[in-house]
């Protein structure tokens, strides 16, 4: 029969009291359980439940084979919201299902008569809707009746979760404290500064790291008051600073401070310099109980700094005494110093000039050219030299020669050192000279024309036979003077950029034939022999080109003995008219060849024997350049010279080109990437100018970079003529580009043309030191050398 109301204390006195759990036990319908009504319970159970309800300790009773549960108010919080109150009267295996694998075997041991207990035992309970690690001090004891039979398990436990967590937190805090202590100690020991802690009013050394000890080698510091360990401190201002920090608690920072200190206890007191920080250490009450010291000795640095300052002072003094403008720039070309001469010339101080840079003072007409050359020098690391006009404080522009060289340390450019030399007087003199020559030439033409007319009249008159030779000789001198005046006029026009050209179509064969026939009359003592001379129509200035031909032939006649031959040849070669004039005279040394086309230059040791101002070849060179042509010379001293010039005939046909990622070929160049040897095999052919050289070089650069090659065999064996106009571009621009793309080794096979060799050497001289380069005259030797470099690299 079910219970409909709570049991009374009078009915079952063993269930009296017990607080809230006593009420719940009395209110439960026990008849629905295997135990039945409380009156039918075994005496052992009644007594145990009565004891449980009257104790303040957490107690759990698990009765019978089902482990039906009874517990008191003290045990109730252990069950949490998820297990109480439903745990009352049901099996412990159901209530503690999540940990039954752990405690179930223990209960079986207790039911077998064994008492089980552990302190701070952890079990993961789900008592508040989530699993949590709970810790207990517990004892599992058998419940026996009067006959000694075991009828259940008595669980007495105290939860220690908070205590365990507190202990864990304390242990973790202690571990973290140890870690922080060790980290701080490691910081002190490994810090790049001397560190010490001075404790108490006597400032006793409590801690010293190795770098601090090195400041006082041989001295015992640890555990000693500061004045005992380093007594000389008392006589220095630093002792007052330390006392001030200890008294006020304020941090003191010193930089480059002089402190007279001895290094050892018996050593001399030296002037020593330090950067340091004195920071007060405070106890828990906020009172200062010590000083933390960070210190770096900079004595050597100060000494070096003062030497540098003294050196800079002398350096600036020397630079300011120079009559030239002196300047320096950063590796990127940015101006960072000018001497006093620059300031005086421009009327600004150093900061303003450096801020503006040269572009604020260079004449606009000269700015682009000088900036281009400056960028080339920065890219190549080679000498910078140019001329430009600079605006002075008086508002006038003055010509200067600028020159700068890189200062290199450990293979790296760290700065540029430059000078600007005032050449305005020289420029003015050159202008005056050219102006004088121009005026003089024009003024001389009028009387010369009259003299020439009188000479021609005298030739037609009847004069004594003995006078006729003098008239003839005077005519020769008049013609010679006429040529000199014409040359002077041409030079002044070239310098002023006022040479005009009358371009028209004409038969080149007729021009050459007429020129040779005309020269035969002026040089009857020489054999002028014309070979070849194909019939070609050319578009150019006939008169100017005739001037070139006459100059070449007249030079051949002038520098060869009477009676010798002069061979003139004309031929077509790769859409070019190529004319050569060969003599068998004194010849020219190779070191003088490239100078022949300079203004007023003549071969050494010839000025006393041969006439002329040295202007003819200079003028000829300018005429050929205006026609897109070029010139070159082959010569041997004592055997004669051959002067060449080339005139390109414009072709509209598109040339055939073959191109892949590893191969390129047109009529002027072939480039092949040799994968086996990781090199480019390059063969240049025919005549070249700056455009064809640039085009071929840039294709080489693309193929080398794309194929990650680091070496080139550059064959110039089939190169003709002179490509000197491209030499500076190759040296200043292209070689640095190739070096950045990966080029390390460059084998150059020379052309038989001396001028081509000179151009190649000039390019390589410009970039000297960037890439390992070797000259060859045989392609097989060049390939062998390149391959050896690869073997050396692989070793």
740 lies in a domain?
Answer: yes
Spatial contact of 644 and 579, defined as CB atoms under 8 Å apart? yes
Residue appearing with tokens 């037609």: 460
Q: Please tell me the distance from the alpha carbon of residue 639 to that of residue 585, in angstroms, as a whole number.
A: 6
State how beta strands 565-572 and 194-199 pair: unpaired
* Residue 429 clears pLDDT 80, i.e. is over it: no
Same domain as 374, residue 460: no
pLDDT of the residue at 487: 54
Number of H helices, E strands in the chain: 24, 29
CATH code (residue 473): 1.10.287
Q: Per the domain annotation, does 218 fall within a domain?
A: yes
pLDDT, greater one: 310 or 478: 310
Token pair in block for residue 51 = 């004891």
Most confident range, picked from 223-232, 264-273, 528-537? 223-232
Query: Could you tell me the pTM of the whole model?
Result: 0.42
Q: Binning pLDDT at 50, 70 and 90, where does residue 128 land?
A: confident
Shared-domain flag, residues 643 and 665: no
Q: Where are the alpha helices (DSSP H) in 99-225?
A: 100-111, 161-190, 210-214
Query: What contacts 299, CB < 8 A, 6 or more positions away?
Result: 270, 271, 272, 273, 274
Beta bridge partners of 37: none
Position 310 in a domain: no
The tokens for 661 are 């990622």
The confidence score (pLDDT) of residue 601 equals 40
Contact 194, 209 (CB under 8 A): yes
Contacts of 740 (CB under 8 A, 6+ apart): none
Residues 368 and 341 reside in one and the same domain: yes
The listed range with the strongest mean pLDDT (208-212, 426-430, 757-761) is 208-212
450, 477: one domain: yes
610 confidence band (pLDDT: 50, 70, 90): very low
Q: Which pLDDT score is estimated for 445?
A: 54
Highest mean pLDDT among 105-119, 494-508, 516-530, 778-792: 105-119
| pLDDT per position as a tens digit, 618-649 | 777 777 887 888 888 888 888 888 888 888 88
176 in any annotated domain: no
**Is the confidence at residue 448, as pLDDT, over 60?**
no
Map residue 144 onto helix, strand or coil. Answer: strand
CA dihedral sign, ordered 191, 194, 196, 201 = negative
| Residues 435 and 360 occupy one common structural domain | no
Domain boundary among 477, 495, 513: 495
Q: What letters, b where the CB count within 10 A reaches 16 and e where it falls short, cover 186-202?
A: eebeeeebbbbbbeeee
Residue 308 inside a domain? The answer is no
Asked if 19 and 119 sit in the same domain, the reply is yes
Nearest C-alpha neighbor of 339 from the set 262, 420, 408: 420
Let me know: does 709 contact 673? Beta carbons within 8 Å: yes
Residues 489 and 578 in one domain: no
Q: Are 292 and 193 in contact (CB under 8 A)?
A: no
CATH number of the domain to which 26 belongs: 3.30.450.20
Mean pLDDT of the chain, nearest integer? 82
Instruction: DSSP letter for 655, please.
Output: P
- 3-state secondary structure string across 519-566: HHHHCCCCEEEEEECCCCEEEECHHHHHHHHHHHHHHHHHCCCCCCEE
Of 462, 477, 495, the residue at which a domain comes to its end is 495
Q: How much is the pLDDT for 597?
A: 47
DSSP secondary structure string for all residues of 168-184:
HHHHHHHHHHHHHHHHH
* Short-list 428, 427, 425, 409, CA closest to 417: 409
Closest CA to 301 of 333, 268, 272: 272
Residue 667 has pLDDT above 70, yes or no: yes
Statement to judge: residues 402 and 448 lie in one domain: no
Dihedral angle of Cα 373, 377, 378, 379, to the nearest 10 degrees = 100
- Does 511 lie in the same domain as 409? no
Residue 77 has pLDDT above 70, yes or no: yes
472 within domain boundaries: yes
Query: Is residue 718 in a domain?
Result: yes
Spatial distance between the Cα atoms of 23 and 215, rounded to a whole number of angstroms: 81
Q: What is the pLDDT of residue 410?
A: 77
CATH number of the domain that residue 557 is part of:
3.30.565.10
My answer on whether 55 and 101 are in the same domain is yes
Q: What's the rounded mean pLDDT across residues 639-660?
A: 79
Q: Is the dihedral of CA 280, 285, 287, 290 positive or negative?
A: negative
| pLDDT reported for residue 602 | 43
Q: Mean pLDDT check: name the lowest of 33-47, 274-288, 699-713, 744-758.
A: 744-758
State the Cα–Cα distance between residues 588 and 774, nearest whole angstrom. Answer: 27
Cα 294 vs. chain centroid, distance in angstroms? 36
pLDDT at 496: 52
pLDDT of residue 591: 64
* pLDDT computed for residue 652 by the predictor: 46
Total of domains in the chain: 6
**Residue span of the structural domain in which 73 resides:** 13-159
599 or 479, higher pLDDT: 479
Do both 26 and 153 map to the same domain? yes
Do 512 and 598 share a domain, yes or no? yes
Last residue of a domain, one of 589, 620, 648: 648
Q: How far apart are the first and last CA of the chain?
A: 105
pLDDT of residue 265: 79
Nearest to 61 by CA among 52, 137, 93: 52
Separation between Cα atoms, residue 654 and residue 205, nearest integer Å: 90
Residue-wise pLDDT tens digits, 281-328 = 998 889 999 999 989 888 888 888 887 777 666 666 666 666 788 888
Structure token pair of residue 210: 């190795």
Instruction: Give residue 450's pLDDT.
Output: 60
Answer yes or no: is 653 within a domain: no
């Amino acid at each position: 029969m079910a219970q409909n109301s709570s049991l009374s204390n009078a009915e079952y006195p063993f269930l009296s009291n017990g607080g809230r759990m006593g009420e719940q036990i009395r209110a439960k319908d026990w008849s629905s359980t295997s135990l039945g009504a409380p009156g039918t319970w075994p005496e052992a159970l009644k007594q145990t439940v009565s004891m449980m309800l009257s104790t303040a300790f957490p107690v759990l009773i698990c009765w019978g084979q089902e482990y039906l549960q009874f517990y008191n108010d003290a045990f109730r919080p252990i069950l949490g919201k998820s297990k109480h109150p439903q745990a009352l009267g049901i099996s412990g295996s159901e209530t503690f299902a999540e940990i039954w694998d752990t405690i179930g075997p223990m209960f079986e041991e207790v039911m077998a008569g064994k008492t089980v207990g552990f302190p701070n035992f952890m079990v993961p309970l789900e008592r508040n809707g989530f699993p949590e690690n709970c810790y207990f001090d517990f004892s599992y004891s058998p419940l026996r009746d009067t006959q000694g039979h075991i009828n259940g398990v008595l669980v007495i436990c105290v939860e220690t979760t908070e205590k365990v967590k507190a202990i864990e937190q304390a242990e973790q805090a202690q571990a973290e404290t140890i870690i922080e202590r060790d980290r701080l100690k490691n910081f002190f020991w490994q810090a790049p500064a001397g560190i010490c802690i001075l404790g108490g009013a006597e400032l006793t050394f409590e801690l010293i790291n190795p770098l601090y000890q090195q400041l006082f080698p041989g001295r015992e510091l640890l555990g000693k008051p500061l004045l005992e360990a380093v007594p000389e401190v008392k006589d220095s201002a630093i002792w007052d600073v330390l006392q001030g920090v200890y008294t006020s608690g304020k941090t003191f920072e010193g930089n480059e401070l002089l402190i007279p200190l001895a290094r050892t206890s018996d050593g001399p007191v030296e002037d020593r310099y330090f950067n340091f920080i004195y920071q007060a250490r405070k106890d828990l009450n906020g009172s200062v109980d010590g000083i933390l010291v960070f210190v770096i000795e900079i004595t050597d640095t100060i000494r070096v700094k003062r030497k540098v300052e003294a050196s800079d002072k002398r350096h600036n003094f020397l630079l300011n005494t120079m009559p030239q403008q002196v300047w320096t720039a950063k590796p990127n070309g940015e101006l960072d110093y000018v001497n006093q001469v620059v300031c005086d010339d421009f009327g600004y101080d150093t900061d303003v000039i450096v801020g503006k840079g040269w572009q604020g003072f260079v004449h606009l007409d000269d700015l682009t050219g000088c900036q281009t050359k400056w960028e080339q020098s920065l890219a190549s690391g080679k000498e910078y030299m140019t001329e430009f006009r600079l605006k002075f404080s008086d508002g006038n522009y003055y010509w200067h020669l600028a020159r700068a060289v890189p200062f290199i340390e450990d293979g790296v450019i760290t700065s540029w050192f430059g000078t600007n030399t005032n050449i305005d007087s020289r420029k003015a003199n050159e202008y005056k000279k050219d102006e004088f020559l121009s005026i003089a030439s024009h003024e001389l033409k009028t009387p010369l024309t009259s003299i020439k007319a009188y000479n021609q009249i005298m030739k037609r008159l009847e004069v004594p036979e003995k006078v006729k030779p003098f008239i003839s000789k005077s005519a020769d001198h008049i013609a010679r003077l006429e040529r000199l005046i014409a040359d002077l006029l041409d030079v002044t026009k070239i310098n002023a950029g006022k040479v005009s050209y009358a371009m028209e179509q004409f038969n080149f064969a007729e021009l050459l034939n007429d020129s040779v026939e005309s020269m035969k009359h002026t040089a009857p003592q020489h054999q002028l022999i014309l070979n070849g001379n194909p019939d070609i129509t050319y578009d150019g200035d006939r008169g100017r080109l005739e001037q070139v031909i006459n100059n070449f032939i007249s030079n051949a006649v002038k520098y060869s003995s009477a009676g010798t031959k002069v061979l003139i040849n004309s031929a077509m070669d790769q859409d070019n008219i190529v004319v050569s004039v060969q003599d068998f005279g004194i010849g020219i040394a190779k070191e003088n060849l490239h100078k022949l086309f300079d203004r007023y230059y003549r071969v050494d040791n010839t000025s006393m024997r041969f006439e002329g101002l040295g202007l003819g070849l200079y003028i000829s060179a300018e005429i050929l350049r205006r026609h897109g042509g070029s010139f070159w010379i082959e010569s041997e001293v004592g055997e004669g010279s051959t002067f060449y010039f080339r005139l390109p005939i414009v072709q509209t046909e598109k040339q055939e080109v073959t191109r892949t990622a590893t191969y390129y070929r047109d009529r002027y160049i072939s480039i092949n990437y040799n994968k086996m040897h990781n090199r480019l095999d390059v063969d240049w052919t025919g005549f070249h100018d700056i455009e064809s050289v640039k085009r071929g070089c840039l294709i080489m650069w693309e193929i080398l970079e794309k194929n990650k090659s680091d070496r080139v065999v550059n064959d110039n064996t089939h190169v003709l003529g002179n490509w000197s106009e491209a030499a500076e571009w190759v040296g200043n621009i292209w070689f640095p580009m190739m070096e950045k793309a990966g080029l390390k080794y460059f084998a150059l096979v020379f052309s038989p043309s001396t001028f081509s060799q000179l151009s190649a050497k000039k390019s390589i001289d410009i970039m000297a030191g960037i890439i390992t380069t070797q000259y060859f005259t045989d392609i097989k030797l060049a390939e062998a050398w390149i391959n050896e470099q690869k073997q050396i690299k692989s070793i």
